[in-house]
Structure 1
Amino acid sequence: MKHLLHGFAPLSHLGVIRVEGEDAVKFLQGQLTNDFALLDDGHARLAAFCSPKGRMQASFIGFKRGPAEVLLVCSLDLLATTQKRLSMFVMRAKAKLTDATDQFKLYGLVGDAVAQAIDPAAAPWTRVDAGTSTAVALYPANGQPRALLLTPADAAAPTGAALTTEQWLWTEVQSGVATVSQAIFEALVPQMLNYESVGGVNFKKGCYPGQEVVARSQFRGTLKRRAYVAHADAPMFAGQEVFADTDAEQPCGLVVQAAPAPNGGFDAIVSMQTAAQSAGLTLGAASGASIALLPLPYELLEDI
């Protein structure tokens, strides 16, 4: 039986980076995995910031607030580091990055609560503005619509039932779309989180740090790790290793993010070797708690 949630949750684990200046869009176009030059006012972008080796240092939901301003929503525990790293590449570009977290409130909407901000049937990454607030449609969880809502810091909270952040994080896991946090900093290339399958990578745009590695992984058919949704009866947390019974010494994967499951245990997004799908999986060690894979809630793009 599906566990259904309706309401809104405060997202204090996320922060906002503001990028402003006449070169803001051009600057981000050269740094992130997705295309911001072609981004219109009706959409947001999922994107990653990678190291030169293609490893994800942060992920964002980003959207324009005018021709010279972009807001990037990211994991708060990586915000300061990411702002500093990105700022190093500004050089002569007319763009400035600031921490704008205190100026906004972020909420996650799920179920019936979504309709107050955006069409529940809207495709993921659709964006709607209402005054000074912005709503972005996300990937669903358990078939239920979800949305990210950004409002001014002094605006009233959404209406509906109040959900806990943990409840919202469980819907994040169920959606299969992971947010990069400090625990997995530089651990994975975007395809290891299925980002190319959920609108997080544009292979037609120009260069960005790590672009050659990301493109080579896609076009040469060398993807050997993917993200999966999983369940365990034991506590799970980002950064834990996953083992397969085919190799008790070397881990086959990594827990990316996790949350308590409504009916007990924990659910998680796990990035692991595709060859281990049919193996017996355990958490933390070969003798750890068993892990069961759940159906992935979207189709993967085939390797090119």
Structure 2
Amino acid sequence: MSLPTFTSLVTLPHYVVLDATGPDALSFLQGQFSNDLQTLGNTQASFGVYCAANGRMLASALLWQNDAQTISLLVHQSLAEFLLKRLRMFVLRAKVTLSQRDATVYGAYAETATNLENTFEVLHPDDHTVVVQAPSSHETPRWWMITSTTTAEPVNDSTEAQQRWEAQTLQQGVAHIEQATQDLFIPQTLNMELINAISFSKGCFPGQEVVARSHYRGTIRRRSALFSIAVTSELDTNALTPAQDIFGTDADNQPIGRIVNSALMNGRYYLLAEVLLDEWSSEQSYHLQHSNGPQLQREPLPYDITQQRDNKRPKL
């Protein structure tokens, strides 16, 4: 497909790009992340997660094949040093080097939606730039742009614009792991298989046994739901940060979930937070700080969090 016409760019300094380079780059990361990199080629990206042996996520990333010997990862800046150090521990004899790219990450708004299916297409307009389709609504087509050169499009580096980008990502049901939420959630809690970030047929990766067991036994009890809350002078925004607890009216002031990510847009905070599916299906209300705290408003997601993907074991 042709390169979209971009109307504006937003700087996203909280994201960085890591590169795995070498003849074994693909096979090495194939054994580390949850998604199937062998199906991507160089025209499509995919979300994936990196887990501990207990199945809990240590990192999430958007991955794509940059060239025949380079796989690139878009990750939260707070995880870059950890992830590089962790992955290097397992390189052993694999012919692969891991590094952080010297590049700027932008959020790019396109003039028109060339593809509304969120297939995460990858374009390489020149040797210094890659453009990857971002989760988008029909009204707001978005792309990530990673480049080491200057751009001709107007650039907005305000916190407000960065928060708007993040809120729009949350509205599409895409969460990310950052330092505050490492080792707290299994992938299904963050709806990762609902955005095709897990392959249950690709083979082993760290934590795969735990993740697969939850899938095939149908024991997924928690998902991430989207909420919002209006900004007021009484609202304590510290209660909206990642890993903070949320509460229910019938929970005797006991936490019933945790915030995964949050962002501010148009006077409202949007947040993805884990919920128990049994309580989500009831009339349970959700609150910040305590059972009588500010009430969160439920918001729609582009997928059904109560669904379970086909969980038949593949035949060997």
Query: What TM-score results when the alignment is normalised by the length of structure 1?
Result: 0.89
Q: Does 1:175 align with 2:172?
A: yes
SS of residue in 2 equivalent to 1:106: strand
For residues 27-78 of structure 1, the C-alpha deviation after alignment (integer angstroms, 9 at most, x for no partner) is 0010000011232111011100000011111111111122211111100001
**Residues 286-301 of structure 1 aligned to structure 2 (within 5 Å):** 286-300=291-305, 301=307
- 3-state SS of the aligned residue for 2:34? coil
- CA distance in 2 between partners of 1:95 and 1:161 (Å): 36
Match of 2:254 in 1: 250
Once the two structures are TM-superposed, the CA of residue 142 in structure 1 deviates from its matched residue by 7.1
Q: Which residue of 2 aligns with 1:124?
A: 119
- Using the TM superposition, give the Cα deviation of residue 143 of structure 1 relative to its aligned residue in structure 2, in angstroms: 4.4
CA apart distance, 1:157: 4.9
Match of 2:141 among 134, 138, 145: 145
In the alignment, what sits opposite 1:48?
49
Q: What displacement does 1:144 show?
A: 2.3
Q: Does 1:238 align with 2:246?
A: no
Q: 1:78–1:137: structure 2 CA closer, same or farther, 3 Å change rule?
A: same
**Unmatched runs of 5 consecutive residues or more in structure 1:** 1-5
| Rounded Cα–Cα distance in structure 1 between residues aligned with 2:152 and 2:201 | 39
User: Quick one: distance in 2 between partners of 1:274 and 1:122?
Assistant: 27
SS in 2 for 1:37: helix
Q: 1:195 to 1:286 in 2, by over 3 A?
A: same
CA distance in 2: counterparts of 1:23 and 1:111, whole angstroms = 35
> In structure 2, what is the equivalent of residue 82 of structure 1?
83
Aligned to 1:8: 9
Unaligned runs of 5+ in 2: 1-6, 312-316
Answer whether contact 1:253 1:270 (CA < 8 A) is retained. yes
In 2, Cα distance between the equivalents of 1:187 and 1:60? Answer: 16
Matched, 1:136 2:132: yes
Q: Percent identity?
A: 29
Cross-structure match for 1:158: 153
CA contact (8 A) 2:116 2:137 kept: no
Q: 1:273 aligns with which of 272, 276, 283?
A: 276
Shift of 1:10: 0.6
How far apart are residue 122 of structure 1 and its match? Answer: 5.3
Q: Which residue of structure 2 aligns with residue 259 of structure 1?
A: 263
CA distance in 1, matches of 2:214, 2:171: 26
Supply the AA of the counterpart residue of 2:104. Answer: K
Q: Distance in 2 between matches of 1:124 and 1:269?
A: 22
Task: Tell me which amino acid in the other structure corresponds to 1:273.
Answer: L
Query: For residue 126 of structure 1, what is the amino acid of its counterpart?
Result: E
198, 203, 206: which is aligned to 1:206?
203
Q: Which amino acid aligns with 1:195?
A: M
In 2 relative to 1, CA 110–229 (structure 1 residues): closer, same or farther, beyond 3 Å? Answer: farther
CA distance in 1, matches of 2:278, 2:71: 40
Question: What is the root-mean-square deviation in Å for CA atoms of aligned residues?
Answer: 2.0
Distance in 1 separating the partners of 2:106 and 2:119? 16
Match of 1:28, SS state, is helix
**8 Å CA contact 2:17, 2:100 repeated in 1:** yes
Secondary structure, aligned partner of 2:39: coil
SS in 1 for 2:81: helix
In 2: Cα distance, 1:240 partner to 1:142 partner = 32
CA distance in 1 between counterparts of 2:284 and 2:241 reads 21
- Contact 1:25 1:37 survives alignment (8 Å): yes
Corresponding residue number in structure 2 for 1:3: none
Q: Number of matched residues?
A: 291
Structure 1 residues 158-212: Cα deviation after superposition (integer angstroms, max 9, x where no partner): 3577762112112122121011111111111111111101121111101000001
Q: What letter is aligned with 2:246?
A: V
Given residue 103 of structure 2, which amino acid in structure 1 is its aligned partner?
F
Cα distance, 1:231 vs structure 2: 0.9
- 1:120 to partner: Cα distance: 4.4
Equivalent residue runs for 1:17-96 within 5 Å = 17-96=18-97
Secondary structure, aligned partner of 1:218? helix
What are the Cα deviations for residues 97-149 of structure 1, in whole angstroms up to 9, with x where unaligned? Answer: 1122xx2111112353x66xxx3435332212211321111222474222111
TM-score, scaled to structure 2: 0.86
Matched to 1:298, the amino acid is Y
